[in-house]
Amino acid sequence: MLVRLLYVSRAVGPQTTAVTDSILSVARGTNRQRGITGALCQGQGLYMQVLEGERSVINRLYNRISQDRRHQDVELLVLEEITQRRYADWAMAHVMLSEDDPMVQLGHPEFDPYSAPGQTMMKLVHELFSTGNRIRSTSATR
């Protein structure tokens, strides 16, 4: 059974692209082996990550990730059953959430992942991923 999970967390320490790249370079290898796909959205001191895969695999990964000391306040926003992956080609895409992103500032005044409806945040990550002018997607390695 396939599921898609979304969580939000707060970075511990400076949230540089280098830090995230080092997390992802390891993660992508594991994800490929375990059939995990998704997107990691980073910015404003936050991470929002979508994970897709077999339910038991995603549960195990989420439990590991939530104990990772590189972030804190890990909060589950959505867990949904799916029939199709949205990030099928991505062992983990990397999406930048810019602080002055007009979509975040204006289009989404409700932007606070910790209080907004989970599906609103899920949509935002999908939008950030698919609208190239508002994001920088650094995942050359799929």
- Site residues, ligand FMN (CB under 6 A): 23, 27, 30-31, 40, 47, 49, 61, 64-65, 68, 70-71, 92
Distance of alpha carbon 84 from alpha carbon 87, whole angstroms: 9
**Smallest separation, CB 124 to ligand FMN (Å):** 17
> Contact 37/85 with Cβ under 8 angstroms?
yes
Nearer to ligand FMN, 80 or 105 (CB): 80
Count of all residues that appear for the chain in the document: 142
State the sign of the Cα–Cα–Cα–Cα dihedral 119, 76, 110, 12: negative
**Smallest separation, CB 106 to ligand FMN (Å):** 27
Nearer to ligand FMN, 88 or 106 (CB): 88
**C-alpha pair distances (Å), 74 with each of 9, 48, 137, 141:** 4, 9, 23, 26
Nearer to ligand FMN, 62 or 118 (CB): 62
Nearer to ligand FMN, 70 or 126 (CB): 70
**Smallest separation, CB 114 to ligand FMN (Å):** 16
Q: Is 132 helix (H, G, I), strand (E, B) or coil?
A: helix
